[in-house]
């Protein structure tokens, strides 16, 4: 693998290898001493031009547990705040001998652009409304664990995954659709017409505005955050009306079978797209997703920098 910009960069074999190695990393995560020497001497810069809790922290932990030197750079506190361009910042850091950049940016396509300026490998940690490939990988990891817990094996073939909410502004949905296209999951997208991305009919998924009808058929329900910070206009009348039609309310949650896994990439707007009853339920995978984030990012870093062979052996 050379960098990771899009979920579409990965074939089925590569996805399986990342998820399988992540399982080994996940067992290490449960140990009292979590260090592995795999990336000793490697340097990873987490370069975040946009806020993050889960992604930045889990990449930092992942790098540290693999014994890499990890450095966090955010726009605030760097020379970007003095007007330095992203290109100059990237090329400056690259000249220091960095092995990999983990980059988040508010503009779609910014990470691919950055990758063209540097020798180091680049991992897309979320670019605007475009993609968030490691989120889709950790979602797949948590879902696969859930299916196995139910005794259904680890295959996604034919599994019905409903992704619900603010699809227009979501990079998570794009990466999940691309990853599930490769894995064989059957994705149905649910949103009000105002929050459907242009061209969604070409994504190869079913699209619905009737959450209740989709809910009864789903194996996984993934709720997406209403991204108010990216909204300039009135995409729906009020948060209360949005929740009534598209939220996983207490009433909808009560209808769900406990075998249905509930996902949310976070951060959550409780009471808008998801009720606390659903977020904190026994079949909620929200914290499993967070935990998977460290293991999957360890696996991605290991595949990119650690000399994993064809089968991803440690």
Tell me which residues touch ligand CP (CB under 6 A).
52-55, 126, 132, 135, 265-267
Task: Pick between residue 135 and residue 182 the one whose CB is nearest to ligand CP.
Answer: 135
210, 216, 220, 223: CA torsion to nearest 10: 30
CB of residue 254 to ligand CP, shortest distance in Å: 27
Run of H or E residues at 255: helix 250-255
Which residues, at least 6 apart from 26, have a Cβ–Cβ distance to it below 8 Å? 141, 291, 292, 295
How many whole angstroms separate alpha carbon 94 and alpha carbon 103?
Answer: 13
Task: Pick between residue 63 and residue 126 the one whose CB is nearest to ligand CP.
Answer: 126
Task: Pick between residue 55 and residue 180 the one whose CB is nearest to ligand CP.
Answer: 55
Task: Pick between residue 127 and residue 306 the one whose CB is nearest to ligand CP.
Answer: 127
Task: Pick between residue 132 and residue 252 the one whose CB is nearest to ligand CP.
Answer: 132
CB of residue 263 to ligand CP, shortest distance in Å: 11
CB of residue 201 to ligand CP, shortest distance in Å: 26
How many whole angstroms separate alpha carbon 137 and alpha carbon 201?
Answer: 23
CB of residue 230 to ligand CP, shortest distance in Å: 13
Task: Pick between residue 58 and residue 312 the one whose CB is nearest to ligand CP.
Answer: 58
Task: Pick between residue 274 and residue 308 the one whose CB is nearest to ligand CP.
Answer: 274
User: Helix, strand, coil shares of the chain as percentages rounded to 5?
Assistant: 45, 15, 40
Closest listed residue to residue 174, CA positions, set 211, 127, 138 = 127
The DSSP bridge pattern shows strands 43-48 and 261-263 to be: unpaired
CB of residue 172 to ligand CP, shortest distance in Å: 7
Q: List Cα–Cα distances, 48 to 51, 56, 91, in angstroms.
A: 7, 8, 15
CB of residue 240 to ligand CP, shortest distance in Å: 25
Query: Residue of minimal CB distance from ligand CP?
Result: 55
CB of residue 23 to ligand CP, shortest distance in Å: 21
Q: Give the CB-side neighbour count of residue 136, counting CA atoms within 13 A.
A: 33
Q: Contact 25/295 with Cβ under 8 angstroms?
A: yes
């Amino acid at each position: 693998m050379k960098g990771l910009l899009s979920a579409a960069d990965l074939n089925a074999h590569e996805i399986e290898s990342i998820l399988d190695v992540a399982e080994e990393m996940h067992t290490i995560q449960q140990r009292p001493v979590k260090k592995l020497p795999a990336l000793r001497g490697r340097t990873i810069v987490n370069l975040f031009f946009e806020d993050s809790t889960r992604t930045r922290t889990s990449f930092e932990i992942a790098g540290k547990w693999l014994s890499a030197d990890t450095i966090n750079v955010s726009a605030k506190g760097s020379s970007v705040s003095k007007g330095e361009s992203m290109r100059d910042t990237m090329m400056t850091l690259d000249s220091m001998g960095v092995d990999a950049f983990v980059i988040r940016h508010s503009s779609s396509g910014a990470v691919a652009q950055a990758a063209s300026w540097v020798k180091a490998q680049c991992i897309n940690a979320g670019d605007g409304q475009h993609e968030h490939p490691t989120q889709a990988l950790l979602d797949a990891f948590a879902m696969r664990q859930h299916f196995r817990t139910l005794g259904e094996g680890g295959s996604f073939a034919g599994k019905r995954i409903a992704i619900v909410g603010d699809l227009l502004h979501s990079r998570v949905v794009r990466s999940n659709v691309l990853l599930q296209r490769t894995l064989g999951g059957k994705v149905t997208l649910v949103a009000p017409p105002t929050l459907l991305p242009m061209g969604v009919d070409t994504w190869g998924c079913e699209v619905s505005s009737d959450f209740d009808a989709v809910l009864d058929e789903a194996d996984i329900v993934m709720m997406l955050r209403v991204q108010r910070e990216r909204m300039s206009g009135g995409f729906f009348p009020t948060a209360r009306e949005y929740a009534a039609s598209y939220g996983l309310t207490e009433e909808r949650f009560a209808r769900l079978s406990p075998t249905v896994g509930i996902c949310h990439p976070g951060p959550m707007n409780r009471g808008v797209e998801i009720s606390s009853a659903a977020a904190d339920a026994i079949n909620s995978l929200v914290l499993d997703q967070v935990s998977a984030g460290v293991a999957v990012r360890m696996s991605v870093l290991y595949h990119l920098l650690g000399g994993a062979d064809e089968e991803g052996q440690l």
